[in-house]
Amino acid sequence: MEWYTIGEVSKLCNIPIRTLRYYDDIALLVPDRISPETNYRYYSKEGMRKIPLIKYYKQLGFKLEDISRMLERPNFDVLEDYMAKELLIVEKQMAELQKKHFAIQEWKRLLKQGETLLAESQEDRKIEVASFPLYRTMKFRYEIQNHQAADIEVLYSNIFVALCHRHNVFAYGPFMLFFDDFSQRVDHTFTGVDCYTAVIEDESNAALTTEVGGFQAISVVHRGDYRTIGETYSEVQEWAERKEIRLQGASYERYIIDPWSTTVSDNYITELILPIGGNDNV
């Protein structure tokens, strides 16, 4: 029988010597012969045949402990069982990647929307009645401490990220806040706020989500720091009075460009959505 030293195997199979020694330590690829005089490791051709298999199985994502069992090749059933299990893992990873791809696409689209709105002059800003689309969202109620009101946009986003991570939910699109009384939002006297974000829904998180939207509202874009948002609310109130449109008194704020996207507060883009008509829509 022809024997190959560990150095020869390293060169022939393009594998580092330290890796071969590690495989020996974990009993994945044990030398076929060890010289009692020199303690040199020697491999047979059959042993070397396992090396490309190990590389290939690693490329497919199999764990070394599974590869060890697969290399024994006692029958087809063993390999089929491991392949079936790995397929389930890969399919789950593919589903996760599709969610990530969709979420990233939506964030990119949101940035483009924000850039378009930033390019418009303030004089071109429109106040209009529009249909607020229906969103499938994750929601939670946040109770405000007095000193937190001014920084609520930062506080709620941190909580949302923690919730999404805990439940393995992928959020996309803008975050939204709902204020029962927008006058309290303006003067920072509100004590609670409903927080929403659109999420990619599947069977695993359906119980965590709810629908929001599907009603008529006055829509306007506020550009700039949140400290001046009261001025935009005042403009909407005056416009609604001239048009004889009854406001419900509540509002949603949809954050298109916010501190997640820019450090320049003058470039914040926030859509204000004020429901109109009866209270059934909120």
pLDDT tens-place string over residues 65-96: 999 999 987 788 888 999 999 999 999 999 98
Given a cut of 90, whether residue 128 has pLDDT beyond it is yes
Q: Which residues of 12-29 are buried (b: 16+ CB within 10 A; e: fewer)?
A: ebebeeeebeebeeeebb
Please say if the pLDDT value at position 122 is more than 80. no
d(CA 66, CA 79): 10
pLDDT in tens, 143-164: 877 655 555 666 677 777 787 8
Residue with tokens 């204020």: 179
Lowest mean pLDDT among 72-81, 107-116, 120-129, 203-212: 203-212
Exposure of 179 by Cβ count < 10 A (0-12 exposed, 13-18 middle, 19+ buried)?
Answer: buried
Cα gap 31→17, rounded to integer Å: 12
Token code pair at residue 244 = 């004889």
Per-residue model confidence as pLDDT tens digits over 209-245: 888 888 999 999 999 999 899 999 999 999 999 999 9
Domains by residue range for the chain, with CATH: 4-73 (1.10.1660.10), 100-281 (3.20.80.10)
Mean pLDDT, rounded, for 251-265: 91
Residue 282: the pLDDT is 57
Q: Is the pTM for the entire model greater than 0.85?
A: no
Residue 222 pLDDT:
95
